Amino acid sequence: MPIEADAELVERYLTHVRVEKRLAARTVTLYGLDLEKLTEFALQAAVPLTAVQNHHIRRWVAQMNAGGRSGRGIGLILSGWRGFYAWLGREGLISANPVQDVRAPKQPRPLPKALGVDEAMHLADHVDDDDDPWLEARDAAMVELLYGGGLRVGELVGLDVAPSDAAARAGRGWIDAQAGEVHVQGKGGKRRAVPLGRAAAEALGRWLAVRGQVGALAEASTSADAAKADRAGDAVLALFIGQRGTRLTAQSIWQRLRRRSLRAGLATPVHPHMLRHSFASHVLQSSGDLRAVQELLGHANIGTTQVYTRLDFQHLAMAYDAAHPRARKK
């Protein structure tokens, strides 16, 4: 098929998606770029678009991958090509879609974002003298549990001040200060105990000493109103509460942690899962015990935990670059 015929087919398809499918102009432009790439490959292979086979597509995917295009970018291009060949099939111009079973290369799993040890320690040690002392005590304790225990934000939200039948039924966790443990229920209903470190225990002690100083909590707990009484029951049990006397939400914790990290002078706003990543990375750097980190994080599969070995290797590589004579630039 001559080059002009290929160009005509592409133009007919773009008109189809623009007029009949009413796709946005930006989408049609992107489809046009995808098909321009396809036409270039077909021209180099001296094959008309209607004669392209599965092995051609696979070869071109390999070329794009070798050229540095991301797996996501290749996936988007393949989507554009797949739609074009599906249309050719409906028009009766081809018998099989050569893109149908072709998939983009898998994207490497991104490294979790973790703070450096110095940054994490700076955040944990930060004291906001300008904040309300009650909020300061609460937020400091939350940071210590997130970084010191590697808790998920949902696990932190669900912590109670003590074990109870209500907590067990609702799948919540609790603090056992005497045993020095935090009991949480993670994903899949799996319960685990996490050691309560010295710094976290001290921060919790300061928080528990002032936690009851909430007017809304006292008012609700003595109210005859059933709704208020229910809220009070949860608030009396909840470890972390707001100034209105109700259990903190995950969104509130995200907001408070972001605010605290910026006020502490960190360049990047910190979110709860970043502290969990930091906990895992720093424990692994210090101990090298992947199984222990798996247990502390509550991962069912050690493959999930192994992503932190890449962070650990990254740390070792940086140390090598900084210290080894053969790594230093001349």
| Residue of 114, 307, 283, 121 lying closest to 195 (CA atoms) | 283
273 is an active site residue: yes
Token output for 109: 């799993």
187 is an active site residue: yes
Residues 6+ apart with CB under 8 A from 261: 123, 268, 269, 270
Residues 6+ apart with CB under 8 A from 202: none
Distance, CA of 133 to CA of 136 (rounded, Å)? 5
Annotated catalytic residue: which of 13, 31, 147, 152?
Answer: 152
First CA to last CA distance, the chain: 58
Annotated catalytic residue: which of 172, 271, 276, 277?
Answer: 276
Annotated catalytic residue: which of 187, 191, 244, 263?
Answer: 187
308 is an active site residue: yes
| Residue of 147, 202, 188, 191 lying closest to 168 (CA atoms) | 191
276 is an active site residue: yes
DSSP per-residue letters across 111-153: PPP---HHHHHHHHH---TTS-HHHHHHHHHHHHHHHHH---H
Distance, CA of 147 to CA of 115 (rounded, Å)? 10
Identify the three-state secondary structure at position 190: coil
Pairing relationship of beta strands 173-176 and 159-160 according to DSSP bridges = parallel
Active centre residues (catalytic)? 152, 187, 273, 276, 299, 308
